[in-house]
A and B are shown apart, each in its own frame.
Chain A
Amino acid sequence: MSQIVGQSVPRKEGRGKVTGEAKYVDDLSFSGMLYGVTVRSPVARGRIRNIEFTGGLPWDQFTIATAQDIPGENIVALISDDQPYLAAGIVNHPEEPVLLLAHPDKYLVEKARSFVRLDIDPLPAIFTMEDSLAKKEVIWGDDNIFKTFLVEKGNVDAAWSEAAHIVEDEYRTGAQEQLYIETNGVIASGGPEQGITIWGSMQCPYYIHKALLKAFPLPPEKIRVIQMETGGGFGGKEEYPSMIAGHAALLAWKSGKPVKMIYDRAEDMLATTKRHPSRTRIKAAVSRDGKLLALDIAFDIDGGAYATLSAVVLSRGTIHAAGPYLCPNVRIRSRAVATNAPPHGAFRGFGAPQSIFALERHMNKIARVAGLAPEEFRRRNFLHHGETTATGQEIREDVKLEQLLDRALELSDYHAKTKAFAAQNKASKIKRGIGFATFMHGAGFTGSGERYLQSVAGVEATADGRVRILVSSTEIGQGTNTILSQIVADTLGIGYDDVEVAQPDTGEVPNSGPTVASRTCMVVGKLVESAALGLKRMLGGEYTAAACERYIRQHGPLKSFSQYEAPPRIYWDDDAYRGDAYGAFAWAVYVAEVAVDTTTCEIHVDDFVALQEIGCVIHPILAAGQIEGGVAQGIGYAVYENVVWKDGRMANSQMTNYIMPTSVDVPRIRVYFEETPYEYGPLGAKGIGELPIDGPAPAVLNAIENAIGAPVNEIPLMPEMLMEAVVA
């Protein structure tokens, strides 16, 4: 039956991408188009006193928009509705948008931006989670806290007295820039009569649609959002495009002309979202025979100045904090707090890389204290089929973590290398080490999320039997167009070339939910499969071109839609924060090998093995590509990518001094899959996109500890920090 799924067919938009013909938003141009720019706050927090237009520029030629020009509510609608499109009265973070300019001359408008003088009275600001929690200043709500969660299983407090060892430590992770190579950008056109159309680089067209509905007094059908080819997202184009789209739309609304807004690299790095910095404290109790008795985890993330998605990021980080281990007593207390930095937001992994980093470092520490090898300690505590996670979710997948671990250690030659490095390191200034992390990542929205989303996907057949997939799920490089086409082709028994994917356009496609949360393959793929099965049923059970032709002649358009239904036995309690957090998990063991130069304190990752169980693999090359790209980002997160903060503002907003891995920095990344079909995924598949960013940082830091014999508990681990660890 399955003929195309499992094959590495050519990606749908591959030709356009290798010829340069693919159209990204900056490749579009409209006649009479203006260029828009944003004037931003130079201070972290303050009261806007006055705005002055200086420099003797021809200001009457410019379209100028402030908060007063927004025809609807000055709110970027998302979860808490606390973030304005344009600051009115108060600014709460550096680079907060205050005013917009548009002009036909893109050089002049860029120059004009620096001649708008914002007179702002500074107010005291806070830049650390510690100051936020101490309420040094209250900058959000009553207590600076966006969200808290409490997950409880068993009774942690009763467990300490039975412990053979109690092990405590603290771990920190820094911000990380998504650094998609195409910056954020949109074009907006329209006005009160004709409505608004947005063309842009984005992950979630319907997020923008929802946000514009609040800011502009228009009926839903008069707002149209069209995704152009998108040059990378990684979460950075989940919620932020709602902001830039609103800005461009406002300038278009006011000027009556199409407006293009494309951020340059510095603006994109300064003003848009990054991964939440975190601090995790773990206290663990372990028995004499090396079994976890209790995990008490305090997990805090810095959300920046507005709530945006922090509550949801915190949720995923919280649920993943106890890892793939069986522990009878678990308490996870987590908080997302406000600081006067630009809001942190979605980035691949969404909170999980932070809490998993802490736990996987701590597992090594516990093992050492308990006198066990790190692999042996984990082996004694793995979750199995039928056992329950920290949220009380019973594992119904046939997961065999011991086997994954054995295979990963064998593929990486872990035992022999551990021994060899220990011997060689004594006489060498270059210290080599090997380390690993074992982890899981839930696919799809957390808890009741998918039930609330109620996503819809559709397929439409033509009289010659070709099929067009109708989803708002976006192709951002990960392969959406290709895998959805493969699923439909196999479901209907037609050729891959007979399937195409409609351009995501809210005027044309249903809301299949956002392109986030490792949900496109597993959740949307399943919807597309169900919709295709619906087509078949409409044709009496057999899908042929002749049947399509007959149906269309007799009844008109041949379309089938499918709406999300939760798999059976999935239940989540939002109040108690207990239950089935995810429909399915992907499981993985990653092994990193490093070389540390103790003279220069340079770190290089020399080899990487990534072994995972993700259900059935739909497209081997795309799947491996997801893992390799995620591992490279994860290595960057661990040892290269350092956001330098100065009073809430990124001080190194350039690719020159914010360093991501290049082709000479990444090791050979060896990717292996185990495939256990997942009953409720399309043709057995689960989610994959976020998993690979979870494991590299703890695996690399565990390897560094193995190399230098000293603990390192903070990322990014920069050479100067390593020097302190080596000297100590």
Chain B
Amino acid sequence: MHKVPIEFRVNGTPRKVDAYPMERLLDVLREELGLRGTKEGCGEGECGACSVLVNGELVNSCLVPVLQAAGCDVLTIEGLTKDSNLHPLQKAFALTGGAQCGICTPGMILASYQLLDRHPHPTDEQIREGLAGNLCRCTGYQKIFDAVREAAAR
């Protein structure tokens, strides 16, 4: 297997990498592009710590071969902070206690981002369903729900 050139947009910027086609998007983001905010929790698509958005769809980047992201728009946690200003979701997670150890937080914020994109004023049930693919072991989720409600209210 040889490395191939792959082009895509990451956080709005066109990027070109040489990667093995089956390399995990997670590894390319972290190691080739230095975007270490995307975390690995389980490597099997269960925990959601590696969640990113590809063309607006929430995916587990540990399950996506980088070739599949060719030509796509990828959004990672680093793409939410603009000129060092926090996104309302990031502010809300910091304010309400939605982040404890922080390892699930980038993925959880991106899952919340997609959730609010689809349901700007989500019901409690929509919040629970929308975040069900992202595991958190610290918070018991309550303060994460608070963060999503807080961000939705802004």
A262 CB to closest chain B CB (Å) equals 8
Which residue of B36, B93, B102 contacts A477 across the interface (Cβ within 8 Å)? B102
Which residue of B39, B80, B109, B131 contacts A24 across the interface (Cβ within 8 Å)? B39
B4 contacts the other chain (Cβ, under 8 Å)?
no
Contact of A625 with B143 in the complex, beta carbons under 8 Å: yes
Closest to A232 in B: B101
Known: A10-B95, A17-B105. 16 other contacts (CB 8 A): A11-B94, A15-B86, A18-B91, A19-B78, A20-B36, A26-B36, A180-B137, A181-B104, A182-B101, A229-B102, A231-B103, A232-B137, A628-B139, A628-B140, A655-B135, A663-B128
Which residue of A16, A264, A479, A632 contacts B141 across the interface (Cβ within 8 Å)? A632
Contact of B37 with A21 in the complex, beta carbons under 8 Å: yes
Q: If the complex has contacts A182-B103, A477-B102, A631-B140, are A18 and B109 also in contact, measured as CB distance less than 8 A?
A: yes
Contact of A669 with B142 in the complex, beta carbons under 8 Å: yes
CA distance A27 to B102 in the complex (A): 13
Q: If the complex has contacts A18-B86, A662-B132, are A656 and B102 also in contact, measured as CB distance less than 8 A?
A: no
CA distance A216 to B81 in the complex (A): 45
Closest to A21 in B: B37
Q: If the complex has contacts A662-B132, A664-B129, are A13 and B102 also in contact, measured as CB distance less than 8 A?
A: yes
Chain B: interface residue total (CB-CB under 8 A): 54
CA distance A180 to B133 in the complex (A): 16
For B91, list chain A residues within 8 Å (CB). 18
Main secondary structure of the interface of B (DSSP, over half): loop
Closest to B94 in A: A14
Interface positions, chain B 13-28, Cβ under 8 Å from A, are: none
A197 contacts the other chain (Cβ, under 8 Å)?
no
A356 contacts the other chain (Cβ, under 8 Å)?
no
Interface positions, chain B 114-154, Cβ under 8 Å from A, are: 127-129, 131-145
> Which residues of A does B touch, CB under 8 Å?
8, 10-11, 13-24, 26-27, 178-183, 229-234, 264-265, 476-479, 621-622, 624-625, 628-633, 654-656, 660-664, 666, 668-669
Closest to B144 in A: A663
CA distance A653 to B42 in the complex (A): 11
Closest to B130 in A: A663
For B145, list chain A residues within 8 Å (CB). 663
> Which residues of B does A touch, CB under 8 Å?
30, 35-44, 46-47, 49, 76-78, 80-81, 86, 90-91, 93-97, 99-106, 109, 127-129, 131-145
For B80, list chain A residues within 8 Å (CB). 19
A495 CB to closest chain B CB (Å) equals 18
CB-CB nearest 10 A-B residue pairs: A20-B37, A477-B101, A231-B103, A17-B102, A632-B140, A628-B140, A477-B100, A655-B46, A20-B77, A18-B90
Closest to B106 in A: A20
Q: If the complex has contacts A625-B138, A628-B140, A656-B44, are A664 and B39 also in contact, measured as CB distance less than 8 A?
A: no
A479 CB to closest chain B CB (Å) equals 8
Q: If the complex has contacts A21-B37, A629-B140, are A663 and B131 also in contact, measured as CB distance less than 8 A?
A: yes
For B138, list chain A residues within 8 Å (CB). 232, 477-478, 625, 629
Contact of A655 with B102 in the complex, beta carbons under 8 Å: no
- List, sorted by A's number, 29 A–B pairs whose CB atoms are closer than 8 Å: A15-B86, A17-B99, A18-B99, A19-B78, A20-B35, A20-B38, A20-B105, A24-B103, A181-B47, A181-B104, A182-B101, A183-B41, A229-B102, A231-B39, A231-B101, A233-B101, A264-B43, A265-B41, A265-B42, A265-B43, A477-B102, A625-B97, A629-B137, A629-B140, A661-B140, A663-B129, A663-B145, A664-B129, A669-B142
Q: Give the A-B pair count, Cβ closer than 8 A.
A: 167
Q: If the complex has contacts A660-B137, A666-B141, are A655 and B103 also in contact, measured as CB distance less than 8 A?
A: no
Closest to B90 in A: A18
For A13, list chain B residues within 8 Å (CB). 102
Closest to B77 in A: A20
Contact of A668 with B101 in the complex, beta carbons under 8 Å: no
Contact of A663 with B134 in the complex, beta carbons under 8 Å: yes
CA distance A16 to B35 in the complex (A): 14
B58 CB to closest chain A CB (Å) equals 14
For A23, list chain B residues within 8 Å (CB). 36
CA distance A654 to B104 in the complex (A): 17
For A664, list chain B residues within 8 Å (CB). 128-129, 132
Contact of B38 with A655 in the complex, beta carbons under 8 Å: no
For A179, list chain B residues within 8 Å (CB). 137
Q: Looking at A16, A27, A664, which has the most chain B CB atoms within 10 Å of its CB?
A: A664
B4 CB to closest chain A CB (Å) equals 17
CA distance A16 to B38 in the complex (A): 13
CA distance A478 to B76 in the complex (A): 26
Closest to A269 in B: B42
For A660, list chain B residues within 8 Å (CB). 135, 137
CA distance A216 to B135 in the complex (A): 39
Q: Looking at B97, B132, B144, which has the most chain A CB atoms within 10 Å of its CB?
A: B97
CA distance A182 to B102 in the complex (A): 9
CA distance A180 to B102 in the complex (A): 11
For A632, list chain B residues within 8 Å (CB). 139-141
Contact of B49 with A181 in the complex, beta carbons under 8 Å: yes
Q: Looking at A16, A629, A661, which has the most chain B CB atoms within 10 Å of its CB?
A: A629
For A477, list chain B residues within 8 Å (CB). 100-102, 138
CA distance A183 to B50 in the complex (A): 14
Contact of B37 with A181 in the complex, beta carbons under 8 Å: no
B14 CB to closest chain A CB (Å) equals 21
Q: Looking at A19, A234, A477, A668, which has the most chain B CB atoms within 10 Å of its CB?
A: A19
A267 CB to closest chain B CB (Å) equals 11
A202 CB to closest chain B CB (Å) equals 13
CA distance A315 to B114 in the complex (A): 48
Contact of A20 with B78 in the complex, beta carbons under 8 Å: yes
Contact of B94 with A15 in the complex, beta carbons under 8 Å: yes
For B104, list chain A residues within 8 Å (CB). 181, 231
Q: If the complex has contacts A24-B39, A229-B102, are A668 and B142 also in contact, measured as CB distance less than 8 A?
A: yes
